Amino acid sequence: MKKMNKPRVKSVDVMRGFAVLWMVTFQIIDFFSIDLQTYHNTWCSFLDFVNWLTIFMFVSGLSVWLMVNKRLSSGISKWKILIHGLKRYTFYIFLGFILCLWCFGLETFLELNEILVAIGIYAFVTLCLLLTLFGKEWIFVPLAFAVYALSFWFKDVLKFQVYPFYMMLPLFFAGAFSAKLITEKSFKKLLLFESPLLIIIIILAFVGDSFSYAGNSPGFIIFNVFLSSLLFAIIEKLQHTKILDMFSFAGRNALFFYVFHFAVWFKLAVSLNITHTYNWPTSILLTCLTVAIIFPFADLKSKLQQIFRRTTSNPKPKLM
């Protein structure tokens, strides 16, 4: 078995970091502001057409492909990869469960309306399919359309869900399909993938598609797959630009940023009864401060992780 190295793919970290900083910033504004409420106001109605959620799901599917590719290249069996994925994604679900108990309530968890829970479940589904279809990723394209077609039967049944499978899995599949094309620099093949999407987007716009997430629109998925794959290709080209280092750091610590902003800032705002209290200048100032505070905590967490890994990888020699 080949020794498995663990280099991170910077472009993936940058894309994930962009999504998590966008999400954390807008949601913390929502925690504090009476004027700029993210989910109850028209100032940010564009989020119904393009938002961080689609990037998270796309990059999660992309990350599943990278994980499988790296481990298969290292000679690890598909069975061991499946067990590894089961452990990883079960941890996401468990962490989402704890976060629900701390911040939102058990009902949110049971309805799968917490993003870590949704990512854990849909990532494992993608992993199972990818282990079967690896090397034939093109199958994910018609499979994405087939999964969305199920919305015609499940849309009313699952209308309580924020992250229904027929909206999320196509984004995972698109990420898994695009990963190979972009990381192997197959930009001509990516263009062949993007061009039909653009044509479909134009046709949908002509026939009056809403491109709305709330409306479970097919245009929303296709438009955001187009944008996400294009964004990833651009970041892959520009990943060594210095200004992207901040996003790369946030991407490496995306889970920490997400959990911290809910478990600490949201919980604190609720406990102090200051949610939706401040005007927009004050809420923006508070948001800048609270987001900035997360960075040194994330850096401390990273350093402690490095110390722990060095300690566990270099055990003390036994005394004779």
In tens, the pLDDT along 178-224 reads 888 877 777 777 778 888 999 999 999 999 998 988 888 899 999 99
Which residues, other chains included, contact 244 with Cβ-Cβ below 8 Å and sequence gap of 6+? Answer: 10, 14, 235, 238
Please give the Cα distance from 269 to 219 (Å, whole number). 36
Domain end position, chosen among 237, 256, 271: 237
Are both 181 and 80 inside the same structural domain? yes
What pLDDT shows up at residue 41?
57
pLDDT per residue over 241-275, tens digit each? 888 999 999 999 999 999 999 999 999 999 999 98
What does the mean pLDDT of the chain come to?
A: 87
Q: Please choose, from the candidates 127, 154, 150, the residue with its C-alpha nearest in 3D space to the C-alpha of residue 63.
A: 127
Is there a single domain that holds both residue 215 and residue 188? Answer: yes
Instruction: Give the pLDDT of residue 215.
Output: 83
Interaxial angle between packed helices 10-32 and 218-238, expressed in degrees from 0 to 180 and rounded to the nearest 10 = 120
CA–CA separation, 119 and 55 (whole Å): 12
Let me know whether 9 and 102 are in one domain. no
Identify whether residues 26 and 61 lie together within a single domain. no
Q: State yes or no: pLDDT of 136 exceeds 60.
A: yes
Radius of gyration of the chain measured on its C-alpha atoms: 20
CB atoms within 10 A of CB 85: 21
Is residue 57 located within the same domain as residue 189?
A: yes
Return the structure tokens found at 93.
């679900």
* Same-domain check for residues 92 and 170: yes
Average pLDDT estimate for 124-128: 96
152: exposed, middle or buried (Cβ count in 10 Å: 0-12, 13-18, 19+): exposed
CB 189 within 8 A of CB 181: yes
Is the domain of 273 the same as that of 283? yes
Claim to verify: residue 178 and residue 272 sit in the same structural domain: no
Does 87 lie in the same domain as 194?
yes
Looking at residue 6, its pLDDT comes to 58
Q: How many domains does the chain have?
A: 2
Q: How many CB atoms lie within 10 A of CB 302?
A: 14
Using the 3D structure, point to which of 199, 218, 237 is the last residue of a domain: 237
Token pair of 102, please?
A: 């701390």
Mean pLDDT of 290-309: 88
Return the closest-CA partner of residue 248 out of 64, 59, 92: 59
Task: Quick: pLDDT tens for 214-235.
Answer: 888 899 999 999 999 888 888 8
Beta bridge partner(s), residue 33 = 278
Q: Return the percentage of the chain with pLDDT > 70, whole number.
A: 92
Judgement on whether residues 66 and 130 belong to the same structural domain of the protein: yes
Q: Are 154 and 295 part of one and the same domain?
A: no
Instruction: Determine the pLDDT at residue 320.
Output: 47
Task: Answer yes or no: do 201 and 99 share one domain.
Answer: yes
Domain-terminating residue out of 237, 258, 292: 237
What residues make up the domain containing 22? 1-48+240-320
Q: What is the pTM of this model?
A: 0.90
What was the pLDDT predicted at 5?
A: 56
Statement: residue 62 has pLDDT above 50: yes
